Structure 1
Amino acid sequence: MRQIYGQLTAELKNHTTPKTVGKDPGYRINSFRELVEQVAKLSYLNKDYLLFYRGQKNDYQNKAGVSTFYPTIYRGEYLTQQELNYRFDLLKSACKLLVQEFKSQKIEGYHELQRKKYIQWSVLQHYEVTGTPLSDVTQSLRVACSFAQLYNENETAFIYVFGLPYYSNRISINSEHDLVNIRLLSITPPSALRPYFQEGYLVGTEDITNEYVNKGELDLNQRLIAKFEIPNSDEFWNAEFDRIPENALYPDNDIIKDICDNLKLDLQPEVEDSDLGLFLKLWTEIESIILERAKKYQRNVFNMRKALFILMENEEQTYNYLKELDYLRNFRNKLVHNPASIRKDDIRKMTENLEYLMNELKKAHNILYK
């Protein structure tokens, strides 16, 4: 998404700048009325944007000390491509299960849900089934503040103000700003109560999934205009306003919540040919290396198990790596002969282990034979 720098109120200008608002501490606000007054000024000063809000109990920051708002699917300082692919596979499986459940239970709106991935993502995001490429925001300051104070044991909470393009449709895609904005009140099925009570919207970067050039462009801090720190107390609301209670933010008798809770129990990504192929490709490569090295000690070696035992006897420095590789050999045999019994997460972890062992064995080989 495109970076913007907002216009600040006189009070905020004495505290921060448009370029450092994410790095500087939140501007202290004492009451809900004072917050509304500040936001009213910001709305007037930033006429080119529609203001949205997000409340959090902590100010989560990246390594540079800047407030960060990555969608759940992209979170993590060191996110490998394999982990990211796994998360998207999990999301794909969740979408498939969600469509099946909506269809089998004849939930109103299931025809549209099965055709549009953004609706599927919206439901999965709001009911916390799995990570998605979307971030939660709201147009209600009261909702944002109530969320920030909910389950919060800290003395303060944080409210963030974002500037987004004006929207014209339920799903608004703005190519100039590389943004998609989803109005949940008009896109999620009416039986999904939570988005309606929370006056929710979801925001993401257009056309970005598990491949990107710069991860920073996925962070909603690109649209951050202001950051406020509020008291986590009843005094913040005064007598004029009330926080929204928990049972309104998370309403009871929500059939979609029941469906999504059951999805979490059954959710497993589907094993695809590409997952099998990557593991077996790596295995073939490391098998060739192991057999070649074993032949330095015994000429007639033609199977992996024997080669591993020969190397264990002759190369004590790599014994632990070889022992782990023997465990992976058993996993490889199970994968080839009974792939249906293997979970996708197992393949992902074993592939990572295999890559690690290959690198370590190559390093050891260079030391032994340099």
Structure 2
Amino acid sequence: MNEVTENNLWGYFQTPQKKASLLKKTTAARNAAGHRVKSYRELATKIAELQFMNRDLVLMFRGQNGDYRNSRSNTTLKASLFRSEAGQTTPPSAGVLIRRFEQLQRAEEQLIRSYEDKKFIGRERLQRYRILRWAILQHYEVCPTPLLDVTHSLRIAASFATMGANTDAYLYVLGVPNLAGAITASAEAGLQIIRLSSVCPPAALRPHFQEGYLLGEYPELLSFNDKQLLDHYEVDFGRRLVAKFVFDPVKLWSDPNFTPASNVAIYPTPGEDPLLDMTSKIKASLV
């Protein structure tokens, strides 16, 4: 995808920083340590400022309990299929990428069969559109895909960031084009945005509870050969980074008026979410 390059792009990415600063290149935010906030109220206030200042963009959020860097010490936000192997900062090898694409294809085939067997709503669309299959496989963590999980809910993203975090937690703000329907494709940005609630059947609670979206390349990278047309840095969603916040996972929720979403709320059980039960079986069969 292309780097976010709107004129007068404003961001938060360092401490101290009393107000949003003009961001000339996303590498300034990616290379910085992050802007430290002390409470959820402070975080929400600064997000409101960013949305007002960056009025030509829609802001999406991603929470993590670690700030992962590439070999140039820039924050990297890659789709799971393109991430480095555990403990490494260099891009995955050709052999690794080929295996991941092959596994993804097997998972897609099983998902189509399972959808048909369950008679889920939208199975015709699922057969027709690969991006919908990727969206479900990614959100339910079946296998690596070319998509990145984000959310439109600040509270959900902050809850993910603090879940299981022992030290600092991080929240990333990404700027995307204005949304138009279930799938927004922007040739100018080289990006597509998928709204999960419009992709998954109504019985699948998890995407609705998480207010989930997925980001992907446009046009889609359908195979290893397609990926070869792009450099590794071009498939890094860090190129859409507007702000990076860092906070203490306990102190963030110290105000009783602002509480995190619980694990049960974010992750419904298989009995409550039939899609989770189905995708878990697909994941087990891929091992």
Task: Compute the TM-score of the two structures, normalised by the length of structure 1.
Answer: 0.69
Where 2:29 maps in the other structure, the secondary structure is coil
Taking the aligned partners of 1:182 and 1:261, their CA distance within structure 2 comes to 22
- 2:46 is aligned with what amino acid? Q
Structure 1 residue 8, shift from structure 2 partner: 3.1
Structure 2 SS opposite 1:20:
helix
The structure whose residues are more often helix, as a share, is: 1
Give a deviation string over 1:91-134, Cα, whole Å, max 9, x none: 01100001101111212222221211111111100111001100
Task: Note the alpha carbon deviations across 1:272-314, whole angstroms, 9 max, x for none.
Answer: xxxxxxxxxxxxxxxxxxxxxxxxxxxxxxxxxxxxxxxxxxx
Report the equivalent of 2:58: 50
| Separation in structure 2 between the aligned mates of residue 169 and residue 237 of structure 1, nearest angstrom | 37
Q: Distance in 1 between matches of 2:41 and 2:24?
A: 23
- Residue 31 of structure 2 aligns to a residue in which SS? coil
Identity %: 34
Among 141, 144, 158, the alignment partner of 1:128 is 141
Partner of 1:257: 276
**Post-superposition CA distance 1:217-259 (Å, at most 9, x none):** 1100000000000111155340211110000100122111111
Query: Does 1:146 find its partner at 2:153?
Result: no
Residue 221, structure 1, aligned to residue 238, structure 2: yes
Question: Does 2:208 correspond to 1:196?
Answer: yes
Within 5 Å, which residues of 2 pair with 1:84-95? 84-95=97-108
Which letter does structure 1 place at the counterpart of 2:69?
A: Q
For 1:206, which of 214, 218, 242 is the aligned residue?
Answer: 218
Query: By how many angstroms is 1:175 displaced?
Result: 0.3
Tell me the equivalent position of 1:25.
Answer: 33
Distance, in Å, in 2 between the alignment partners of 1:17 and 1:31 is: 28
**C-alpha separation between the residues in 2 aligned to 1:17 and 1:179?**
20
Please give the secondary structure, in 2, of the residue aligned with 1:38: helix
Contact 2:11/2:21 (8 A) holds in 1: no
Cα displacement (A) at 1:150: 1.1
Which residue of structure 1 lines up, in the alignment, with residue 175 of structure 2? Answer: 163
- Please give the alpha-carbon distance, in whole angstroms, between the structure 2 residues aligned to 1:173 and 1:235: 35
Q: How many residues align?
A: 267
Distance apart, 1:41 and its partner CA: 0.7
Rounded Cα–Cα distance in structure 2 between residues aligned with 1:15 and 1:63: 26
Within 1, Cα distance between the matches of 2:91 and 2:46?
37
1:6-39 Cα deviation digits (max 9, x unpaired): 3136625679875411111111100111001101
Runs of 4+ in 1 over 6 A off after TM superposition: 14-17
Kindly report which structure 2 residues correspond to 1:1-370, keeping only aligned pairs within 5 A, or say none: 1-5=1-5, 6-8=9-11, 11=18, 18=25, 19-76=27-84, 77-152=90-165, 154-207=166-219, 208-209=221-222, 210=224, 211=227, 212-233=229-250, 236-252=253-269, 253-267=272-286
> Structure 1 residues 183 and 235, CA, compared in 2 at 3 Å: closer, same or farther?
closer
Structure of higher CA gyration radius: 1
Contact 1:53 1:144 in 2 (8 A): yes
Decide whether aligned partners of structure 1 residues 203 and 14 sit closer, same or farther in structure 2, where only a CA change above 3 A counts. Answer: closer
Q: CA separation in 2, counterparts of 1:12 and 1:59?
A: 22
Tell me the SS of whatever aligns to 2:170: strand
Larger RCO (alpha carbons 8 Å, 6+ apart):
2
Q: CA deviation at 1:186?
A: 1.3
- Comparing 5-14 with 75-84, greater Cα deviation is found at 5-14
Determine the structure 1 residue equivalent to 2:87.
Answer: none
1:53 Cα deviation after fit: 0.5
> For structure 1, which segment, 159-168 or 69-78, has the greater mean C-alpha deviation from structure 2 after superposition?
69-78
Shift of 1:187: 1.6
Deviation at 1:213, TM superposition (A): 2.5
SS at match of 1:11: coil
SS at match of 2:28: coil
The one-letter code of the counterpart of 1:191 is A
RMSD of aligned alpha carbons:
1.8
Unaligned runs of 5+ in 2: 85-89
Which amino acid counterpart does residue 29 of structure 2 have in structure 1?
A: V
Q: Which amino acid aligns with 1:202?
A: L
